[in-house]
Structure 1
Amino acid sequence: MSFREECGICGRVLRAYRLRKCSRCKRLFCRDCMVPDVATGNPLEPLCLHCARRVVAPRSVSKYAGLAAHLKFRGSFTKLVTLSLARIDGLIGSNLPMSAYKDVGWWANSPSSAHARSWLDSGWDVQEVNLREGLVVFKKVRETRIKRKRRKGETNKPFTPVPVRPIKPRAPSKTKVSKLYARIKNLERQRSALKGSVRSPYEKRLFKSSEKPR
């Protein structure tokens, strides 16, 4: 009996031996949805079309994405943020252009500039710029929702807590109780037998072994 699997791209259901595993995402795909490794050209390490597209044309990340992420994080608990130019350099991972240190107009809230869109899309505006002290004050002007990817088959249902079953106290078994009771009885018998035959060290010093205390 041969198992059948579904291709992750085209959705065709084929036998397992007709599917191949992507060397990057480790999922199963049919041969029509796979290509040799686009980086090395090795046919023994095939890639699916999704992974091949990511290798050939990766998504371009904005230079100021770190600044936008920091403002979104700070927006959850404050409406005014003061950042130094050195701090902004650390957030974006590189140096700001020289015009940012000399020209106040570089910090204008203009949607046409790429650097301004980083804080405008995050719901912030530049309120004040002090180039002498190297400080920039951002003000939150609107709320932005964080987009969350939905999983396959996920629906917007209200949260319902899982019912918890009450833990019932278990009574000890009769076998264990009887064994414990028998053990206690045996210990009592041993103690009673030892009391009549064994003397304490104090009695041994006062009386001889042949005499008994009165």
Structure 2
Amino acid sequence: MVLIEEECASCGATFNYYSLYRCYVCGKMFCRNCFIYDEEGKVICLRCAKRRIFPKTRLSKYSPLTTYLARRAKYANYVTLSFKKIEEIIGDQLPPSAYENRYWWSNTRNRSGSEAWLTAGWSVLEVNLDSKTVAFKKNKPTEINVQRKRRRRISVSPAFKALAKKRKRKKPSGPSKTKLAKAQARFKNMQREKLRVPKFRGKFKPKKAYEKRLYNLDEK
């Protein structure tokens, strides 16, 4: 039998596949040190549990524009949008400064508007306040982003790994089947014994076996 080993999605330690548990939220495999049980007894990793306890803050007003540009990046390098189209995407009106000042469309970080397209990997190429249109250009990916980052293997101590391999104590689901079978057999034997004893009407009681032997000796 070939034992398949797999890494824990959180700590990176290698364990036997059957020693890992799958998180029901993200579906990844984790060792016993990197997950907990929720209130329903289901396995949930520490990351998903943290997200449940500390949910993300409210999204920006322009986050729908980030999503829109990220999808267009798959099949286009240039996108021209009207101000009205952008308002339809974000579901709200642009501020008056977007109609009057070109600086609002500058590619400057730490601004709610510009972060929308810079986060998606786009930059403003040209703004026309007269026609109320803006042209976006997709930024070229840098060499750091193109190269696939190799996951750094984390050194895990033997004590940490041994702790993860400890099996969870199983709670007894119910009485043992063997004990149930023995109890049923004992009950049936008691019922059979009751059926074997003859019943007599009135106060007459049958003599016991040793009494019969005594009477037989007296007769002799």
TM superposition score normalised by structure 1: 0.47
Structure with the larger helix share: 2
Greater relative contact order: 1 or 2 (C-alpha under 8 angstroms, separation 6 or more)? 2
